[in-house]
Amino acid sequence: MNAEHHAAGRPPQLALLVQGEDRRGLLRDMTAAIAAHDGDIWSVEILERGDRSRVFWEIDAVEDEKALEAALLEIDGVDSVQRMPTMYEVYGKRIIVVGGGAQVGQVAIGAVGEADRHNIRGEKISVDTIPIVGEENLANAVRAVARLPRAAAVVLAGSLMGGEVAAAVDEVREAGVLVVSLNMAGSVPDHADLVVTDPVQAGVMTVMAVASTASLDVSRIQNRRY
């Protein structure tokens, strides 16, 4: 499940930055070493290739971390294996705000202000935004939330959204993503988990719904309009 890996509220066990001389087959050798140590790969980001190779791995369920690090270091070309904080530890759960610039900015004000209050108490919540226009762009942005690491919720911040965007809302809810919509024209509010009229309040409530330090139970207010 996407929800289990990305939105479940826990980091992977291990993040490693592996550096060395690049060569053909290097990534495959690293994948094999991780598999040989029972590692579940959650994500791989190739930061550099060409002469040098820098690969950032997020891995779970490794039995012997030291043995995996040693095995990676033994791979031909690899000259350094560093532990890093996981992206979950650094940036935490993500709330994605999509829509018109005016509304996205106001939702961000609410969400950032509320995330600040939770992050000060040890939580990590980040608020990611993209102001865009057009049904296809919006539907793509909503659908892609299900493929974004650590995304827990999406806020639809516009004045008119329907059609493909509503279909995309159904899909990402199915994938376990919470969907909050501003009170707007079009069919999107009918498809959301929660509809909020004021954009600042929408940002605050979305963070409360996602934060483990808050006590807003979305299932109790589902399909309500505020």
Widest Cα–Cα separation across the chain? 59
**For residue 82, with 0-12 CB atoms within 10 Å meaning exposed, 13-18 middle and 19 or more buried, which class applies?**
exposed
Distance (Å, whole) CA 23 – CA 69: 19
What is the number of residues in the chain? 226
The residue within the footprint of its own copies, chosen from 8, 10, 21, 25 (CB under 8 A), is 25
Neighbours of 168 (CB within 10 A): 27
**According to the binding rule CB under 8 A, does residue 147 interact with its own copies?**
yes
Q: Which stretch binds its own copies (CB under 8 A): 33-41, 75-83, 158-166, 216-224?
A: 33-41
Q: Give yes or no for residue 183 binding its own copies (CB under 8 A).
A: no
35 binds its own copies (CB under 8 A): yes
In angstroms, what is the minimal distance from the CB of 31 to its own copies? 5
Q: Contact region for its own copies (CB under 8 A) — 65-73, 126-134, 189-197, 217-225? A: 126-134
The 8-class DSSP code of residue 92 comes to -
* Crossing angle of the two packed helices 164-174 and 135-144, in degrees rounded to 10: 0
**Total of chain residues touching its own copies, rule CB under 8 A:** 65
Cβ atoms of 128 and 104 closer than 8 Å: no
Residue 192 beta carbon to its own copies: minimum distance, rounded to whole angstroms: 20
Binders of its own copies among residues 49 to 68 (CB under 8 A) are: 49-50, 54, 56
Closest to its own copies by CB, 49 vs 225, is 49
DSSP label at 155?
Answer: E
CB of 111 to its own copies, least distance (A): 8
Q: Return d(Cα 183, Cα 202) in angstroms, integer.
A: 10
Burial (CB count <10 Å: 0-12, 13-18, 19+), residue 184: buried
145: DSSP letter: G
* 167 lines the binding site for its own copies (CB under 8 A): no
- Please report, as residue ranges, which positions from 85 to 124 form the binding site for its own copies (by CB under 8 A): 85, 87, 89-92, 100-102, 104-105, 108-109, 112-113, 115-117, 119-120, 124
Judge contact between 127 and 108, C-beta under 8 A: yes
Residues that bind its own copies (CB under 8 A): 1-2, 4-6, 17, 24-25, 27-28, 31-32, 35, 40-50, 54, 56, 84-85, 87, 89-92, 100-102, 104-105, 108-109, 112-113, 115-117, 119-120, 124-133, 137, 140-141, 144, 146-149
